[in-house]
Structure 1
């Protein structure tokens, strides 16, 4: 039996919302072993994600939120693998902007536990960047998969539709900064960070309205 591990794939594409479009690089996280895995945020390139999976069984395509750059490859990846797409229902309005004719297969809810390769990932509902945003906490891996809730250097963006800065700050304070300090935050874009690295800066972000 092989140990569960975390793999990162970076894919490139575009983020579009509120009439604007931006070029972005996204982190796609694969959690599993040599036999099975889950994909967190199927961004931009289903072919590249399928190649990274190899012959492993894909148990689920988990969406941290439904901005198009995190879900645009999800239906194709699900069709290729037969894996269900899971999304918090509060993000369905965003999902439908990208995939109006293809609903997710299942819902994510706070406290729900997803198991893969002997590891449990607990769903933490962390609204703010998006109403249905979630993080996935895997204590056995000392990891939390944060989507766009928290980055190295600050919280996710809240300047567009369906987002709210005070709600995001509450989510970060109450759900993420309460995790052990050595927990690695695997972000939706850019470099990883840790809870301990970000926790001292919470008040700065609040004061700046970051």
Structure 2
């Protein structure tokens, strides 16, 4: 089992492909450039099983329609942000880009009180609100990594100046949920390079005092 990072769109939002030995995969946050993403998956010979969303800001959902036009897949998202998918005011596209992002699809509400298993993949679901109210991080013990969305970055944290952002809530999410994982856990963020929890605890200025 391994992961691949694919930065997409003007904000270089990281989509991730987590794939197993049988070439099945799950797709995290297909945010933009849907044709490019679909072509990449096809060229690799992967068979997607699901789309997993860390949250529903426009730069994390913009390629969903293109992916679903190629494969019929379930889309997993926190219940608090289901309505954001088809609403440009909620997902932010009405404010930040020149076109409105509207995703209409069948969704699966994430149940954060139990593991999520899809094919060969199993995740511990961590509610990590603050950047947005329905932000979820996916911890995969099989690879020792957490897909953190826009909660924690290398040297920084998610912004909280957007509608529904909450700085104190974000810091609680990082401290109570992410930092409770093993220190060697790889952090796969929504933007930028990967890091580890140990590195962030040592050098991230926002985590001083934790």
Q: Same fold (TM over 0.5)?
A: yes
Gaps of 5+ in 1: 14-23
Tell me which residue corresponds to 2:51: 61
| Matched residue SS, 2:87 | helix
1:139 paired residue among 138, 141, 146: 141
Going by fraction, where is strand more abundant, 1 or 2? Answer: 1
> By how many angstroms is 1:133 displaced?
0.3
Unmatched segments (≥5 aa) in structure 2: 89-100
Aligned Cα root-mean-square deviation (Å): 2.0
1:5 to 2, 6, 17: 2
Q: Which residues of 2 match residues 92-171 of structure 1 at below 5 A?
A: 92-98=82-88, 102-116=104-118, 118-171=120-173
The normalised TM-score by structure 2 is: 0.84
Out of 11, 27, 32, the position equivalent to 2:19 is 32
CA drift of 1:150 comes to 0.3
- In structure 2, the CA distance between the partners of 1:50 and 1:112, relative to structure 1 (3 Å rule), is farther
Q: Structure 1 residue 97: deviation in Å? A: 2.2
Number of aligned positions between the proteins: 193
Q: Deviations over 1:182-208 (max 9, x none)?
A: 100001000111111112467x5278x
2:51 match: secondary structure: strand
The 4+ residue runs of structure 1 with deviation greater than 4 A are none
